[in-house]
Structure 1
């Protein structure tokens, strides 16, 4: 059993201000002074100042330096302490990685994966890895004999850091990061910010399972005045989540991108034909025993290749301090609650089936999707007109959805939820009729319908079928030009890129 006491530590004065800088891990080569933000490098027993680190951006994480917990590794309950923090930015969004010092002397990474936490440890790739450009999104590759799907290939840069660090890429300089996912839920990242590339492997984990101590009491930003004036109408636009990369103006509904942060040049896009969400932004709802807050809403349209008919659906982005983000999807055929997966389901049969965590799913629909209206805040750079290619799968254990862009493939997993449960969760029982969809109770179980009514309906259906058959026999025999009807209202999960690497 691992001891709760670190094996050893080293402390030396900061060459910038003289404050103590501590190294718990022998693998740590860099640190950021907590007093003057100097970046220092360790050379034996001497610290050398390299410069000053950029200020951290507030990611509303409940984690902080010196928080401690336990992780199950090889059947053992291993203690660890968070000793460092690295913040990255890519075109798909920003993310934070925490350096975890395990009491066996090794280090690991606790990072975020589209709002879910992932615990990874360094592994040997077993071979020389090709350049990042050789990994094409969607392709299959093998690491140590295990097949993985390439889920993302992005250029990222270190934005800021804090604490004790086993690695430190040059600040602001871009490098490649390739994300691989497996059908059993593993994530494997290849970090080209060092030579040779650093490879880490891990799985998603709930913060509750880590038994963490020393967390922040609140994840809400303490500073006042995090807002700006809308570049279109001049009205004040508040930003609640610092991880937000796009937000809508509450006055004119313009979509505003925050890629460069508040205070930088703000780009906006006007929106017309407003769509009113059934659930107001800011609402709290109890789903799966967890209080979720509605922070974003988007309406999307889809169209199957070769089909002239379009269909629409809505997605509510929900946020929880420890669970991250998930999506409440309102489609024609019912409601569903979904969240991004850590692994990548394995496609087979020309993409007609997908397997994930030991279960099989059948392809229901393939279609092109486009965002048509946006409200609230989103953790990825969302734009009106943003396009993805989607595939929806269904199986006995739930729903799977794939969304693909040139830079990333994301998968979501979830389950159907009754309209009554949705209305009750957000205390909108008085409006529950507005939530009803095509997944309503079967006709035979509906109240007020008797046996005589069912017989009459059956007779009417038979008559209609006979008439249709007669018309078909009298037709010219050519195929109809109309498109088939798609009952599903759209994706089982939203376009969730932007959670970024881990």
Structure 2
């Protein structure tokens, strides 16, 4: 616990096995015995067993019980200690909520979802926000609601359930019993989580945080963590050995036959494999490591995607590399015909004009470049969501200078990705492929630059051609088309970024 946090302990024997069960927070009436997994409730000076908790799965999180840190809350620097963890599951994925005991006696939540973190507290209001619709759990993802005069976007609306828990807990949903959950996001990066498993609904409010900003101590030591060497099994299609490196992976491909394998039921469950034809070879090999923006990333997945705009027969393609870092989580390196970009899933949701022409997020205004349907055609490696060949999403790409923003709708969830363009030289050098830099070069968006070997007469002909085309377009009344940026989805489908 942080040095200046209050030292308050209550210990009593587990009513099931007799092992000591310790409470460090007065706000946590429940606890899970670390020895026999009994769930106990504190009643006066006695503990009463109310059930048994399931085993937690190893998600390779750097966090652990009794890790401590500091966060700025209400203008004050507040020490906290992680005293409990709850693991949840919804149709959008699996995530964890760490219970943080604050110095002033309150508890908060540090939500963890595929390397993205959100710090929330119970909403200060003693009543639900004004305008909370009674049918909010049935609102589709992507819709907007106004609460207490503030607009919010519905990022997720569905059912969730508790999988497992450990440590001290201020709340205890019934194990395995589904409850309605809604997550709202705002353009300034706030998250509002509404848990309908309580009456009235439990509301928490917060925003995204970076682990390095929390000054955390007591994290897991990666060098001493038991290395299981990955999970291995036989490919259900060809029988070749398949090894999964990340416990959070929900799908992977067979290195021999390239079949796409669904891991969402767990390796011990029924494995489903779908054959796929792979025609492209990643420029950056799977497993390669490279440093981008001061972070050492590892390439764990690769997918090829095709898009087309409504009413346009043209198809355009791009590649996405899924990058992983133990503390930063996941990012996407996008290789498109107009260049490379590095993007991450955003916590908040942009405010988008009714005509979808402009989006505002964290004080920046982005202009729509393209609106299209994206289809995944090829998949290699591991992914933290159950990716499928043929998976479709509706995408909109926005741009503001060198910065990018993308919204993507699919699987009952709307996600936002933000990032920026990076040079081909930066990408090639980051992964030790500088000698092959020419293979990384892409078309640059901007003023026309003649290619090597193009003569003056050719340039003049091209200029005249563009003048004629511009004249024709200018004579067409009512035309307001836009130029498509083929930067892809800037991140692809993601169930990450939320704490619920």
Partner of 2:79: 79
1:410-421 matches, within 5 Å, as 410-421=415-426
1:433-448 matches, within 5 Å, as 433-439=438-444
Are 1:126 and 2:129 an aligned pair?
A: yes
Moved more, 193-202 or 212-221: 212-221
Whether the 8 Å CA contact 1:94–1:500 is kept in 2: the answer is: no
Are 1:380 and 2:385 an aligned pair?
A: yes
SS of aligned partner of 1:250: coil
Cα deviation digits, residues 462-502 of structure 1 (max 9, x gap)? 554688799x89xxx999xxx99855142222211255544
Partner of 2:106: 106
Q: CA offset at residue 308 of structure 1?
A: 1.4
Q: 1:190 aligns with which of 194, 217, 232?
A: 194
1:237-256 matches, within 5 Å, as 237-256=242-261
Q: 1:209 aligns with which of 202, 210, 213?
A: 213
Equivalents in 2 of 1:172, 1:64: separation in Å? 23
Q: CA offset at residue 456 of structure 1?
A: 3.7
How many residue pairs get aligned? The number is 490
Q: CA offset at residue 431 of structure 1?
A: 1.0
Partner of 1:178: 182
Partner of 1:308: 313
Equivalents in 2 of 1:96, 1:422: separation in Å? 33
Moved more, 16-25 or 208-217: 16-25
Partner of 1:271: 276
Cα deviation digits, residues 141-181 of structure 1 (max 9, x gap)? 12333211111112111111010001111111111111100
Are 1:370 and 2:371 an aligned pair?
A: no
Equivalents in 1 of 2:476, 2:445: separation in Å? 36
Equivalents in 2 of 1:251, 1:294: separation in Å? 19
Equivalents in 1 of 2:181, 2:469: separation in Å? 58
Equivalents in 1 of 2:495, 2:362: separation in Å? 22
Q: 1:167 aligns with which of 171, 184, 207?
A: 171
The 3 A distance-change label for structure 1 pair 398 and 24 is same
Moved more, 235-244 or 106-115: 106-115
Q: Runs (4+) of structure 1 moved beyond 4 Å?
A: 440-446, 462-470, 483-487
SS of aligned partner of 1:280: coil
Equivalents in 2 of 1:232, 1:499: separation in Å? 33
Equivalents in 2 of 1:434, 1:182: separation in Å? 40
Cα deviation digits, residues 361-391 of structure 1 (max 9, x gap)? 1111000111111111111111111111000
The 3 A distance-change label for structure 1 pair 455 and 65 is same
Partner of 1:70: 70
The 3 A distance-change label for structure 1 pair 328 and 8 is same
The 3 A distance-change label for structure 1 pair 129 and 100 is farther
Equivalents in 1 of 2:469, 2:357: separation in Å? 32
SS of aligned partner of 1:208: helix
Q: CA offset at residue 3 of structure 1?
A: 7.0
SS of aligned partner of 2:69: strand
Equivalents in 2 of 1:420, 1:187: separation in Å? 37
Partner of 2:340: 335
Unaligned runs of 5+ in 2: none
Equivalents in 2 of 1:135, 1:469: separation in Å? 44
Partner of 1:459: 460
Equivalents in 2 of 1:412, 1:489: separation in Å? 12
Equivalents in 2 of 1:109, 1:467: separation in Å? 61
The 3 A distance-change label for structure 1 pair 304 and 47 is same
RMSD: 2.7
- TM-score for both structures, normalised by structure 2: 0.92
1:423-434 matches, within 5 Å, as 423-434=428-439
Partner of 1:488: 486
The 3 A distance-change label for structure 1 pair 152 and 467 is closer
Equivalents in 1 of 2:332, 2:120: separation in Å? 25
Whether the 8 Å CA contact 1:58–1:221 is kept in 2: the answer is: no
Whether the 8 Å CA contact 2:117–2:499 is kept in 1: the answer is: no
Whether the 8 Å CA contact 1:3–1:103 is kept in 2: the answer is: no
The 3 A distance-change label for structure 1 pair 179 and 469 is closer
